[in-house]
């Protein structure tokens, strides 16, 4: 996940704390809300990609195990 959103969120939090007026704080909070939404979206995309990759790897491993089991059964049957 891009580090730029983490940095931006940290900066905006500091700016919010340093705000002198409610108007200033509200402006920064709007930016902070947008940065958080972007960060959450990126995190969701990253996690979805990881889940997809894990599912593909699991299916591949399962297929390999089934293939080995079939070969083993076939070999035992031909030896009998």
| Model confidence pLDDT, tens digit, residues 14-59 | 999 999 999 999 999 999 999 999 999 999 999 999 999 999 999 9
Q: What pLDDT band is residue 74 in, cutting at 50, 70 and 90? A: confident
- Is residue 1's pLDDT more than 80? no
User: How many structural domains comprise the chain?
Assistant: 1
Query: Which range marks the domain in which residue 47 is found?
Result: 3-79
Q: Is the pLDDT of residue 2 over 80?
A: no
| CA–CA dist 72, 28 (Å, integer) | 65
**Which residue in this structure is represented by tokens 């007026």?**
21
Q: Is the pLDDT of residue 79 over 80?
A: no
């Amino acid at each position: 996940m891009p580090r730029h959103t983490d940095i931006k969120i940290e900066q905006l939090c500091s700016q919010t704390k340093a705000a002198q007026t409610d108007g200033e704080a509200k402006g920064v909070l709007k930016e902070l809300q947008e940065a958080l939404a972007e960060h959450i979206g990126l995190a969701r995309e990253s996690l979805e990609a990881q889940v997809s990759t894990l599912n593909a790897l699991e299916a591949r491993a399962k297929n390999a195990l089934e293939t080995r089991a079939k070969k083993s059964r076939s070999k035992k049957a031909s030896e009998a």
